[in-house]
Structure 1
Amino acid sequence: MLRWLLGGREAQGPVEKTTVLFIGEEQPKNSYTELQVLKGHFDMVRFLVRIDDFRFASAGDDGIVLLWNVQTGERLHELRGHSQQITAITRFQKHSAESSCPMILSASSDRSVSLWDADTGSRVQTVTDLHSSVKCLLVLERLDLWLSGGNVLCVWNRNFELLCKTEDFNDAGITAIIELPKNCIAAAMDKELIIYRLTVPASESESWEIQEVKRLSDHQDSVRALISVNDQAFASGSHVGELIVWDSLDWTIQSYERVFGDTAQEDIQSEIKLISPKQNEMSIQHLTSDGEYIVAAIGSGIYVYSLLTKNVIAYRKTAHDSDVLHTLKLPNGQLISCSEDGSVRFWVLQDLPPPAEHASSAFFGMWGFGRVNKQPNQQVKKGADCLVLRSLELTGDLIGHSGAVQMFLLFNDSVLVTCSTDHLIMLWKDGERESRLRSLDLFNKLEQNKGV
């Protein structure tokens, strides 16, 4: 859609083009027919953060944080203070005795972290000269704390006072952190997941402590994605396509899956030689979950994994022309994905008719519940456990960016916000809704003029 902006789309790298998923200009199931382009950044935009129902923040390699009105596209504030690229950003709700106001917490390669007031655009707090760049941020609103991860994992209070920290990691830094029950934290560092426990002081004379309680070393390669699934589970994905679902309380493995690329052939007897998949075709770039399913972006494909049946229920090995960078699972069975090829695509999960015979296995192999088997020659298990029960059907394709789309935000199913390496932010709006709003606005103005 809207290919007139660019005259077409080219993938951002040496990839094989596909015409199978070309949907064309007519997209009756795609409601995002209006586009608004927002300019303000002068380098690639990597992050989008939702502030509330009508505002969001954007940040990237130019070191600037911009605040926007999602309905009008108006630039509300320009937050300047970092001298290098933004490496992490998140929302921080600051509470006081009088009120509660939304804040923006941003980290930069200049080894600083700043807290910004979203209403005024002013910088409230800042910490500089950190030991290393902060790669990830986590806000624990329940404890009124926030954590920064890099070569050191630090715990801070809302006044930017350092409460405690871990020892320095010399070889590799922490790239992702999530909250777990019972004041625990899971941190991804290279191939390992480290479980930390926060000790809350019982009195003013005592101090905060953060202690390592367990190391999970079941991944064969670096962890690329780490997410909370629900109150009972969290998941991690690696560079070689491993998906592990963990128990949030005892940190044991609930299921282990491994993607091998195109190992399932329609006609196995005609297969002469198995070719090892390229590394980028196996790597898990992004994970998301709605509590029932996990959506994994693997290479240029999308895989939907069921937590109930512990198998892949639907997949598209080639969902985009290049690597998928961000996905979202919606409650109505729809999915959204964006890619390095500059596109944003909409998918719907549809049930398949029961097969007469066992379907060819998906690209994840099952090794059993609560147990890991990482033999490289292990064959993918076939049978009922590996049946692909649904299909992913393409229903919409948004083309507007000339660079890789890094991520997106969805506001009330009416506005989709995207950011890209082309320095632009785009608001994709529901055309019918926008038309009704304009008509209502015009009607109200006419009524006011009659009353004058």
Structure 2
Amino acid sequence: MLRWLIGGGREPQGLAEKAALQTIGEDQSQNPYTELLVLKAHRDIVRFLVQLDDNRFASAGDDGIIIVWNAQTGEKLLELRGHTQKITAVIAFPSLDSCEVDSQLILTASADRTVGVWDCDTGRQIQRVSCFQSTVKCLTVLQGLDIWLSGGNDLGVWNRKLDLLCKTDHLSDTGISALVEIPRNCVVAAVGKELIIFRLVAPTEGLLEWDIIEVKRLLDHQDNILSLVNINDKSFVTGSHVGELIIWDALDWTVQACERSFWNPSPQPDAQQEIKLCQKQNDISINHFTCDEENIFAAVGRGLYVYNLQLKHVIACQKTAHDSNVLHIDRLPNRQLISCSEDGSVRIWEVREKQQLAAEPVPTGFFNMWGFGRVNKQASQPVKKQQENGTTCSLELIGDLIGHSSSVEMFLYFEDHGLVTCSADHLIILWKNGEQESGFRSIKLFQKLEEDGDLHPAV
């Protein structure tokens, strides 16, 4: 049976301690997800999950099929067919209060160079756009303007009726890998190792048509950008293939902070040999971000890092959180974090405060002058350096969800219905709170007995 190994949550004292990895056994008292429900409908890798409302989600992947599910029961509600190749992007397009038809829409892009618009309530394909010159790799909805954007070798702007409002010229053969909205009707597009700022201009009395203007190109990254997310209304963050984390001002597009030390697993001089071995690009690539008001949570290679926005440095890390690359992370309530990996595992972590150990004082006196002291200055320097650069929190493993047999691509968290994971094994798994589900079953049983008249009052 495959062993699931993780880092121990402490700074290593050398190669010997680094090799001793912590494991988690069967007793997972803090893991509520003790029941699972396996959903089988896809015939190929399931790469995307999108939440539609409090009770429904949609899945899509390499078989070109989109399926709408009930998040509580696991019932398959709709099967949407129309694409001939794999799905490359999925996004929900919420309805507007002013719309006559109050329905939830899904936008799906495919390698067949089409984008489909689907009604989640009926499963009907409302429209299909097939005028793209390249595969659309990302989709973004700007709900305030009631438009959506398609990112491929160019950037297209569309309205709800799927009319093309405007588009850019050919940007790059690599295409746009990510898009986010920033203030002042602007968007940021990740194109290779560049960030391009575009401004959308809505029609006015003097301008009858929409327009999209390239405002600026940001060239601070040294390699391809893999992650791009908003932190808040004032800043966004990007991560690259070589472990560069850059925080940007969303108003003037300047660099607010930068972190490039993910490839350095320990400041200890005796770990230099291991550092060289760990400097593979796959080990330091920033695959995914999630944020809150205080921290950025980064999936870096096989590890997890917590970067504090105020302190501007990493405050917690698990350098070997999984056996393979971490593909997706997100926050849970109560200072918890969840991650999934190419190794097929899903893990739950808790961010905990930890007490910093003070550096041992340097003894003085005659014997210390000749190196005979209990602790000499040279020996204490790494301790001081570790205290200065050490983390102030730890990431502790509290749950290990083992159910998939292949890479777990992403997941969704439903506050009332648990977790949903999708995988390269073609499966979707609903992870349920065992104690909560047991309570639900007891209530249903009681209600059934009461309806059948099998309940008798106690004498």
TM-score (norm 1): 0.88
1:438 equivalent in alignment to 2:447:
no
**Alignment match of 1:159 (pick from 161, 172, 188):** 161
Q: Distance in 2 between matches of 1:186 and 1:271?
A: 38
Larger proportion of helix: 2
The equivalent of 1:374 in structure 2 is none
Q: Distance in 2 between matches of 1:127 and 1:203?
A: 29
Deviations for 1:320-341, whole angstroms, at most 9, x for unmatched residues? 0111000012342111000001
The equivalent of 1:352 in structure 2 is 354
The equivalent of 1:49 in structure 2 is 50
Amino acid corresponding to residue 55 of structure 1 in structure 2: R
The equivalent of 2:104 in structure 1 is 102
Q: Distance in 2 between matches of 1:332 and 1:227?
A: 22
Q: Distance in 1 between matches of 2:388 and 2:235?
A: 21
Retained in 1: the 8 A contact 2:154–2:172? no
Q: How far 1:445 sits from its partner (Å)?
A: 1.5
The equivalent of 2:323 in structure 1 is 321
| Count of matched residue positions in the alignment of Structure 1 and Structure 2 | 418
- Larger of the two Rg values belongs to structure: 2
Over 3 Å counting, the alpha-carbon distance change for 1:56 and 1:273 in structure 2 is closer
Q: How far 1:447 sits from its partner (Å)?
A: 1.8
The runs of 5 or more residues in structure 2 that have no matched partner are 6-17, 361-383
Q: Distance in 1 between matches of 2:183 and 2:83?
A: 34
Amino acid corresponding to residue 276 of structure 2 in structure 1: I
1:80 equivalent in alignment to 2:81:
yes
1:229 partner SS: strand
Deviations for 1:55-93, whole angstroms, at most 9, x for unmatched residues? 000000000000000111000000000000000000001
The equivalent of 2:66 in structure 1 is 65
Over 3 Å counting, the alpha-carbon distance change for 1:414 and 1:448 in structure 2 is same
Q: Distance in 2 between matches of 1:418 and 1:212?
A: 38
Q: Distance in 2 between matches of 1:382 and 1:140?
A: 47
Over 3 Å counting, the alpha-carbon distance change for 1:309 and 1:274 in structure 2 is closer
Q: Distance in 2 between matches of 1:340 and 1:69?
A: 26
1:285 equivalent in alignment to 2:287:
yes
Q: How far 1:387 sits from its partner (Å)?
A: 3.2
The equivalent of 1:125 in structure 2 is 127
**Aligned 1:197-346 pairs, distance under 5 A:** 197-203=199-205, 206-266=208-268, 268=269, 271=272, 275=276, 277-346=279-348
Q: Distance in 2 between matches of 1:279 and 1:18?
A: 21
1:411 equivalent in alignment to 2:423:
no
Over 3 Å counting, the alpha-carbon distance change for 1:263 and 1:319 in structure 2 is closer
Retained in 2: the 8 A contact 1:18–1:321? no
Q: How far 1:279 sits from its partner (Å)?
A: 1.1
Taking only aligned residues, the RMSD between alpha carbons, in angstroms, comes to: 2.2
Amino acid corresponding to residue 304 of structure 1 in structure 2: V
Retained in 1: the 8 A contact 2:195–2:219? yes
Deviations for 1:281-319, whole angstroms, at most 9, x for unmatched residues? 111111111232111111100000011111100001000
Over 3 Å counting, the alpha-carbon distance change for 1:98 and 1:18 in structure 2 is farther
Over 3 Å counting, the alpha-carbon distance change for 1:435 and 1:309 in structure 2 is same
1:313 partner SS: strand
Amino acid corresponding to residue 87 of structure 1 in structure 2: T
Q: How far 1:413 sits from its partner (Å)?
A: 5.7
Retained in 2: the 8 A contact 1:414–1:433? no
The equivalent of 1:363 in structure 2 is none
Retained in 2: the 8 A contact 1:235–1:245? yes
The equivalent of 1:378 in structure 2 is none
Over 3 Å counting, the alpha-carbon distance change for 1:333 and 1:160 in structure 2 is same
TM-score (norm 2): 0.87
Amino acid corresponding to residue 435 of structure 1 in structure 2: S
The equivalent of 2:377 in structure 1 is none
1:435 partner SS: helix
Q: Distance in 2 between matches of 1:179 and 1:114?
A: 22
The equivalent of 2:365 in structure 1 is none
Q: How far 1:34 sits from its partner (Å)?
A: 0.4
Q: Distance in 1 between matches of 2:238 and 2:150?
A: 19
**Alignment match of 1:139 (pick from 133, 138, 141):** 141
Q: How far 1:451 sits from its partner (Å)?
A: 9.8
Q: How far 1:270 sits from its partner (Å)?
A: 7.4
1:175 partner SS: strand
Retained in 2: the 8 A contact 1:46–1:60? yes
Q: Distance in 2 between matches of 1:234 and 1:274?
A: 30
Q: Distance in 1 between matches of 2:4 and 2:85?
A: 30
Over 3 Å counting, the alpha-carbon distance change for 1:417 and 1:447 in structure 2 is same
Retained in 2: the 8 A contact 1:417–1:428? yes
Q: Distance in 1 between matches of 2:265 and 2:446?
A: 60
Q: How far 1:444 sits from its partner (Å)?
A: 1.3
Q: Distance in 1 between matches of 2:288 and 2:301?
A: 10
1:422 partner SS: coil
Q: Distance in 2 between matches of 1:273 and 1:51?
A: 45
Deviations for 1:68-126, whole angstroms, at most 9, x for unmatched residues? 00111000000000000000000001335434221111000000001100111111111
Over 3 Å counting, the alpha-carbon distance change for 1:423 and 1:272 in structure 2 is closer
**Alignment match of 1:196 (pick from 198, 218, 229):** 198
Retained in 2: the 8 A contact 1:21–1:319? no
Amino acid corresponding to residue 188 of structure 1 in structure 2: A
Amino acid corresponding to residue 49 of structure 1 in structure 2: V
Amino acid corresponding to residue 50 of structure 1 in structure 2: Q
Retained in 1: the 8 A contact 2:172–2:191? no
The runs of 5 or more residues in structure 1 that have no matched partner are 1-6, 12-16, 359-380
Retained in 2: the 8 A contact 1:9–1:342? no
Q: Distance in 2 between matches of 1:441 and 1:19?
A: 48
Amino acid corresponding to residue 345 of structure 2 in structure 1: S
Q: How far 1:130 sits from its partner (Å)?
A: 1.0
Retained in 1: the 8 A contact 2:142–2:148? yes
1:450 equivalent in alignment to 2:453:
yes
1:421 equivalent in alignment to 2:449:
no
